[in-house]
Amino acid sequence: MRRPCRFAAFGAATVVVGMITATTISPMLTGTAAAAGLPSPKADIVVDAGTGRILIGDQIHQAIHPASTAKIMTALTAVERLCPGAKVTANARDASVETMRIGLPVGQPWPIEQIMPSMMMVSANDAAYAVAESIGGSLDGFATNMAATARQIGLRDSTLGDPAGLDDNTSYKGGPYMSAYDLAVATRNALAVPEIAKWAAMHEYSFVDPAGVQHHLVNHNRMLPGGGYDYPGAIGFKTGFTNRSQHALVAAATRNGRTLIVVILGAPDAGYVEAASLLDAGFATPPDARGTGQTLPTVAISRCAARAADQAAFAKLGLSNNPATQTAVTVPDVIPVLNSPPLAATASTHPRATSPSAKHHSPGLLRPRNLIIVLLLLSAILIAFRRRAVKRQRMVRLARRRQRNSAMRSGGLPVVDGRYRTGTRIGPPVDSHVRVRPVQRSTGRRGTA
């Protein structure tokens, strides 16, 4: 039996179930898959998002079809390459992909601020495909982009491609394969990205698309407040289902400043009860618990918005010394990520999630990256001046050598060390080291010293 073995580190299975019953969780969360007579998931993992430590894990490196949880990687690839305000356009294939669809019209650009909630909250496949082809130019091109992002953040077991997570005969090359470990890595990076985390944490959201159509989205993740399987401190993240993969669930929750991530793959049901049990077991461990001894790689996502802000700040730094251009460029200290309504109260408790109404504080021009850039510029200037000085000294030496050679050829300069140039009649050599000893005379005989 897999479940008793996994919970052995935290007590007997009956003790765990009793602990869950004693909490303030909804009565729906008082059982587990095993207690309900259902088979266990194919793989699962619990990770401390702050430290990256793996607390609980079963078959964490087994790569299986992840269904729509693969959209987390699609979203990460998108935020690396699309800045806020970017437009996404669907072609005929994108607009006709199998449901769930948000209803993208062919050739009508949609702002990424409406595409992202459509993809993360209601798992719109047409939104995921439109993002892929807008970024990569084709599904092949996007697969290359997504593979680059996967290598950057440290995925180990995955084969990516289909941006929506489809795995039937309509999918891209049979669909993706991901492990619970890799999904935990992707989710940990996504929690650090406000453009993704805020939508994963939002229960409901309404907007009017560019064609004037009203949309009301209700997050598929029922562990969020108001979802029916409410979990205290839940902050998202993504659900998924296909006939081949069965149920997949990635969930995150925060308690007392500690955030945990749980991934469940190949579950026979939606996985909410199982996820709640695993989260409870994870929160029951001390914050400094060693867990399984394995740790996820550090967060390495590179947001387009952050890079644009750095470039703008650098441009402002370069123009700050020119009075004529000081008022010509206006760069905000913090570039807003998305224009959206405030987050729900539970989402605002997550340290990574932000809302437009939150106050941001920026170090401005004194941020470490700017200081490093200034030091590099100063070093380049010093090197350039040094090379110029060395070049000038070399030219002076060459000029003196040419002058001396010219004087020697014309007979105007004697050669030192006791040698005279042939045909010249000049006095003794200058600074010659040759010395002549005087003749010493003695009485009765002649001799020389």
Contact 162, 125 (CB under 8 A): no
Burial class (CB within 10 angstroms; exposed 0-12, middle 13-18, buried 19+) of 15: exposed
Residue 421 burial (CB count, 10 A): 14
pLDDT confidence of residue 2: 44
Q: Radius of gyration over alpha carbons of the chain, in Å?
A: 36
Cβ neighbors of 201 (< 8 A, separation 6 or more) are 224, 235, 236, 343, 344, 346, 347, 350, 353
Strands 87-88, 43-48: parallel, antiparallel or unpaired by DSSP? unpaired
- Phi-psi region for residue 10, left (φ > 0), alpha (ψ -120 to 50) or beta? alpha
Contact 210, 109 (CB under 8 A): yes
Question: Could you report the per-residue pLDDT of 181-237, keeping only the tens digit for each?
Answer: 999 999 999 999 999 999 999 999 999 999 999 999 999 999 999 999 999 999 999
Q: Which residue has the higher pLDDT, 111 or 371?
A: 111
Q: Which residue has the higher pLDDT, 324 or 61?
A: 61
Which candidate, 156, 148, 193, places its Cα nearest to that of 63? 156
pLDDT confidence of residue 370: 78
Contact 414, 429 (CB under 8 A): yes
E-state strands within 6-149: 43-48, 54-58, 87-88, 110-111
- Topology of domain 2-283 in CATH is Beta-lactamase (3.40.710)
Where does the pLDDT of residue 368 fall: very low under 50, low under 70, confident under 90, or very high at 90 and above? confident
Domain boundaries, the chain: 2-283, 304-361, 367-405
Question: Could you report the per-residue pLDDT of 75-90, keeping only the tens digit for each?
Answer: 999 999 999 999 999 9
Question: Could you report the per-residue pLDDT of 138-154, keeping only the tens digit for each?
Answer: 999 999 999 999 999 99
Contact 328, 319 (CB under 8 A): yes
Which candidate, 230, 270, 219, places its Cα nearest to that of 253? 230
